[in-house]
Amino acid sequence: MRLFVLALYIFAVAAVGLCAETTETEYYAIRLDGKKIGHVVQTRRIKDGVVTTAEDMTMTLARSGAAITVAMLEKSIETSKGKPIAFEVVQNISGVSQKTTGKIIGGEQAKIVTEAMGVKQERTVSFPDGALMSEGMRLLERQKGLKEGASYEATVFSPALLMAVKVAVSVGPRKEIDLFGRIARLTEVTTTMKIPTGSTTSTDYVDDNHRALKTLLPTMGMTLEIIACDKQFALSSGDVVDFLDKMLLASPVPLKDVKSLTSATYTLVPAKDAKPKIPSGDSQTAKTLPNGRITVEVKPAKAAPKVKFPYKGNKQELLEALEPTQYLQSDNEQVVKLARDAVGDSTDAAEAARKIESFVAGYITEKNLSVGYATAAEVALSRQGDCTEHAVLTAAMCRAVGIPARVVFGLVYVDEFGDRKHVFGGHAWTEARIGAEWIGLDATRAPNGYGVGHIILATGSGEPADFFGMINTLGYFKIARIDLK
């Protein structure tokens, strides 16, 4: 699980609740497990009947001693009646910036322009009729009121995610809430955000003007809070929290010579009241036992021989796995060139996929943990990154030559990580569709990098939102037993 995905999750979920009432600037501190890791600055401005709401978030976490700062600015531009007009999102991760602008063009669409590292992309995304943004949601909240027991639903477009999400809001009781030592009597409001890969619920504590003074977000077994405060404290230096270390799971036994093993069955013990969802697929079968434990059998699927490419079938899932996306630009000139160079004269899909896996392993020469989350086109230019950069470039190159591919997030076993031994850590890799099955590819461990030490938690097209389902999974279980073959 990457810091950027965590930051985007915080940004997208919190933005639904942080709707300022006044034209003043509001300040919030972000805390993770009681330690300050960043801040949010919110403004709302009205001019000539147009309302511009801005959310500016900055947070810093460490990954194996490398500090990474993620800054995200989101602007929603709407009429005074809450009708969406346009939006803008600027992301800056360790000095690498990406800017996305969107304009609602009618016909339930928005025109998107994204610029990063000299690469410009234009596309359209769905913008459902009636979808709200910041001002529209603010007006709806005031219309529905704060009477205990009230509930309502809405469709909210998230500029950060570039997609519309369903939200369900429930108004709870008034409670006394601690705001850095100051006790305030506030109304509890829970908001459940639903996206295709799962749902997540945040809790806001709001005053009589519907201003959220405290927000709680479930975050991979950790407590994350966004709390209103003064400017000086919000912008003050924070603590250094090693995010990656918190995501490491101890292995009950060392896994020796992983590549020689044919299968591994993991017994997972969920945390109290947690119900983690572990997916099943061609290389992994998950079962929930009567006692609540979960078994996950990992048995890597073998690629069928003599499968030709490019794919010429009509299965919608596989056709979609060939399309270029925001993070998998399989139509990018440099990505296409690299893919053709890697594959050479191969006509067998399995052989071509393995060649791409090994090519990416050698092409990314700077194994850099400080990279946030680069797109395939950016990696093709920079030649640096860690597991996610290997994964997106591998997937995009497979798509570029006509092999359906997707990005996978999950856990991988390592003998040693920093001062920890025999642990599983968050990881990203790739799956390519060869014949009737999805075959694992891990360019960080090429050749034949995927094995029984990988546990899949989510799959997608590389979009950060694809992996939000992990927020309610990673950090909510322990590995109690491993049976190896």
C-alpha to C-alpha distances, 287 to 3, 34, 110, 279, nearest whole angstrom: 29, 35, 41, 9
CATH architecture of structural domain 258-484: Roll (3.10)
Task: Give me the pLDDT at residue 3, please.
Answer: 56
97 pLDDT band, cuts 50/70/90, is confident
Listed ranges 104-108, 334-338, 457-461; the one with the highest mean pLDDT: 334-338
Whether 68 and 95 have beta carbons less than 8 Å apart is answered as no
Q: Kindly state the average pLDDT of the residues 454-458.
A: 96
Whether 425 and 418 have beta carbons less than 8 Å apart is answered as no
Rounded CA gap, 313 and 86, in Å?
38
Task: Give me the pLDDT at residue 1, please.
Answer: 40
**CA 452, chain centre distance (Å):** 24
Least confident of 206-220, 265-279, 331-345, 372-386: 372-386
Q: Kindly state the average pLDDT of the residues 163-176.
A: 96
pLDDT in tens, 131-169: 999 999 999 999 999 999 999 999 999 998 889 999 999
The burial of 12, by beta-carbon neighbours within 10 Å (0-12 exposed, 13-18 middle, 19 or more buried), is given as buried
The domain spans of the chain are: 3-245, 258-484
CA atoms within 13 A on the CB side of 339: 26
Q: Kindly state the average pLDDT of the residues 213-234.
A: 91
**CA 310, chain centre distance (Å):** 29
Higher pLDDT, 127 or 463: 127
C-alpha to C-alpha distances, 236 to 20, 47, 58, 227, 231, nearest whole angstrom: 22, 31, 12, 14, 8
Contacts of 224 (CB under 8 A, 6+ apart): 10, 30, 31, 32, 216, 217, 218
Rounded CA gap, 446 and 454, in Å?
14
* Strand residue runs (E) in 127-221: 151-158, 163-179, 182-195, 198-206, 212-219
> What residues are paired with 432 via a beta bridge?
405, 439
Could you tell me where the DSSP H helices lie in 146-270? 231-234, 243-246
Residue 455 has pLDDT above 50, yes or no: yes
